[in-house]
Amino acid sequence: MSSNRPMIRREVVSFARRDGRLSHRHQQAWDAHHARYVVEPGRSERSTSLAPGWVFDPAAVFGREAPLVIEIGSGDGEAVLAAAAADPDRDFLAVEVYRPGLARTIVGAQTRGLGNVRVLVADARPLLEHGLAEASVAGLRVFFPDPWPKARHHKRRLVDDHFVAAAARVLRPDGVLHLATDWADYAEQMQCACEDCPELEPATGGTTWAGHEDRVVTRYERKGVAEGRVIRDLAYIRRPGRR
């Protein structure tokens, strides 16, 4: 028997859908500090979506004019909290699709007394495509995104040509895109996407592979090293004068 219902085409996303329920402690922290730390955008159909007309306003959110650094896939906030504590003259936006990780980030920010951190539940793609103003970001960081190691799942990898082009759009001249992965073929994919983008150039004097001096070594990274994987950092700069 045929059905007259229209076929719904599901959007391919770079993250798996997981339970986003918070523990009692983290729900309390989310509720208590929501107004200070959580950015609430306009939404469309999904809980991680952004309404087409919504654009992040860092000056309004942070209450000052300062260089903006965004970490996409911030997890529990280990890296972004360390960076914010070390660089109080910059503002940091932690972007993550899983509320438990952002709740832990809020707890960490509150414990450390950090006023230069905010969190946003959002899919990175619409954020870069239309949720940020052009040339508004000083640094964009993606550390250890899901590698989707099976070949049939590579289409779900976050960092591809489209992602890099969108990243270049929001980076200000001399802004830096910093990527890190412990999967060799994903590192090569990242490198190709960045080198194919005419707006970007290697940030380390013509060398693609960068060090990790400006980020902490996370628990995930230590696990990868223990399993024998090699860590690759890539840093690309937005070419000056290209706008």
Domains and CATH numbers, the chain: 28-238 (3.40.50.150)
**Binding-site entries for S-adenosyl-L-methionine:** 71, 96, 123, 146
Q: Residue 183 — pLDDT band, cuts 50, 70, 90?
A: very high
Mean pLDDT of 168-190: 95
- The CA distance from 17 to 99, in Å, is 12
Question: Looking at residues 227-242, what average pLDDT do you find?
Answer: 88
- For residues 180 and 232, what is the distance between their CA atoms, to the nearest angstrom? 6
Tokens linked to 174: 């001399």
Residue 242 is predicted with a pLDDT of 52
Q: What are phi and psi of 19, to 5 degrees?
A: -70, 120
Average pLDDT over residues 147-174: 94
Q: What gap in Å lies between CA 169 and CA 162, rounded to an integer?
A: 11
CA–CA separation, 102 vs 118, rounded Å?
Answer: 9
Task: State residue 130's pLDDT score.
Answer: 95
Q: What residue ranges in 24-153 does DSSP mark as E strands?
A: 68-72, 91-96, 117-121, 137-143
pLDDT of residue 154: 92
Q: What is the pLDDT of residue 34?
A: 85
For the cut 50, the answer to whether the pLDDT of residue 7 exceeds it is no
Cα separation, 29 vs 41, in Å, equals 20
Q: How confident is the model at residue 2 (pLDDT cuts 50, 70, 90)?
A: very low
Res. 3 pLDDT band, cuts 50 70 90: very low
pLDDT at residue 5 in the model:
41
- Is the pLDDT at 225 greater than 90? The verdict is no
- Per-residue confidence band for 20, with pLDDT thresholds at 50, 70 and 90: low
> Binning pLDDT at 50, 70 and 90, where does residue 13 land?
low
| pTM of this structure | 0.88
121 is written with which tokens?
A: 């539940």
At 18, the pLDDT band (50, 70, 90 cuts) reads low
Q: What is the pLDDT of residue 11?
A: 54
Q: Calculate the average pLDDT of the chain.
A: 88
- H runs (alpha helix) in 97-160: 99-112, 124-130
Q: Which residues are annotated as a binding site?
A: 71, 96, 123, 146, 150, 182, 218-221
pLDDT for residue 12: 52
Question: For residue range 76-124, what is the model confidence (pLDDT) as tens digits?
Answer: 999 999 999 999 999 999 999 998 999 999 999 999 999 999 999 999 9
Catalytic residues: 146
Amino acid, single-letter form, for residue 34: H
pLDDT in tens, 31-83: 888 889 999 999 887 788 899 999 999 999 999 999 999 999 999 999 999 99
Share of the chain above pLDDT 70, in %: 91
